Amino acid sequence: MPSLIVSNPAAFRDALLCQAVPSSMDSTYGSVLRVLLYYVWRGCTLARTSALSGKAPAPNALIALSAYKALLPIVQLIRFGYHADAVILTRALMERIAIVGYLAQDRKLIPKFFKGGATSYREALAWAKRESLQNWMVLYGILTDVAHSRLQGIAGHVFDATPIGQAFREPTTPASKPPEDMAAELLALAVYALMALDPVAFSIINEETAMPVPGDPSIVSSLGLDDAKAFQAFLQSLAQKYGAHATTLTRGPAA
């Protein structure tokens, strides 16, 4: 199975999706999930092969690989409607990506990092604020409010698309309406995280040919034209909904 997962994106995807029964997310956002998992597979594969081929030191590859693997539980939580938990793990992923970028910028810190030397989250987040994608700290702040027991986080499960979440949202008056489904926004956050991760991960493993998310032209041959078009339409719908703040998501190969 490990060799199949590394060499075949479909095997990688199916190994994750078959761990539990399909959810409604699989039909509503199936194309988006497949594209996301393709990019996670690609990142894991590039990191692993960079170490096996001697292209990059093993510690560098492990740093990149761990960040890509951290997306997998987030994808599963989104699939099953545990939105609050997905938010908490996405915040942790953003911190991990900041550390990858910080270490990629100053590689002499990597041996110290693997020996248990303290890595300053403050310095890593300062790096992300300066060097990563637009609105990084705004999004990180929003996720922090949910992750910690502040006003937004006290009843975090109100966000969940589960029976518990629906019980929290039970209308108290005829005019009450539940909040909109958060699945699309959380999937967009996963795309955003991949867009932030790819450039720094490619840097730390010395990968010079792969194109960061969502610019991989091989996505059509790997998944098919329908998935590529559906993914592009998903990103365009976000840009229309949120305006200029989401337009960076829509760049990529024409479907």
Q: In the chain, how many domains are there? A: 1
Determine the pLDDT at residue 243. 67
CB neighbour list of residue 136: distance below 8 Å, 6 or more residues apart: 94, 128, 129, 196
77 vs 16: CA distance, rounded Å: 12
Using CA atoms, how far residue 39 sits from 177, 181, 246, in Å, is 36, 24, 19
Please provide the average confidence, as pLDDT, over all residues in the chain: 84
Q: CB atoms < 10 A from the CB of 3, how many? A: 8
Domain that holds residue 150: 2-250
Asked if residue 79 belongs to a domain, the reply is: yes
- Cα 148-152-158 angle, rounded to 5 deg: 105
Least confident of 46-50, 55-59, 125-129, 153-157: 153-157
Q: Is 245 exposed, middle or buried (0-12, 13-18, 19+ CB in 10 A)?
A: middle
Phi-psi region of 253 (alpha: psi -120 to 50; beta: other; left: phi over 0): beta
Asked if residue 74 belongs to a domain, the reply is: yes
pLDDT bracket for residue 198 (50, 70, 90) = very high
Using CA atoms, how far residue 56 sits from 109, 192, 207, in Å, is 15, 25, 9
Asked if residue 255 belongs to a domain, the reply is: no
pLDDT digits (tens, 9 = 90+) for 71-120: 999 999 999 888 889 999 999 999 999 999 999 999 999 988 888 766 67
Whether the per-residue pLDDT at 2 is higher than 80: the answer is no
Helices (H), the chain: 2-7, 9-17, 24-28, 30-52, 58-69, 71-79, 83-105, 110-114, 121-131, 136-147, 163-168, 183-204, 219-223, 225-242
- In eight-state DSSP terms, residue 176 is -
Rounded to 10°, the helix 30-52/9-17 angle is 120
Contact 13, 34 (CB under 8 A): yes
For the record, the structure tokens of 117 come out as 């030397």
pLDDT digits (tens, 9 = 90+) for 151-164: 556 667 777 877 77
127 vs 145: CA distance, rounded Å: 21
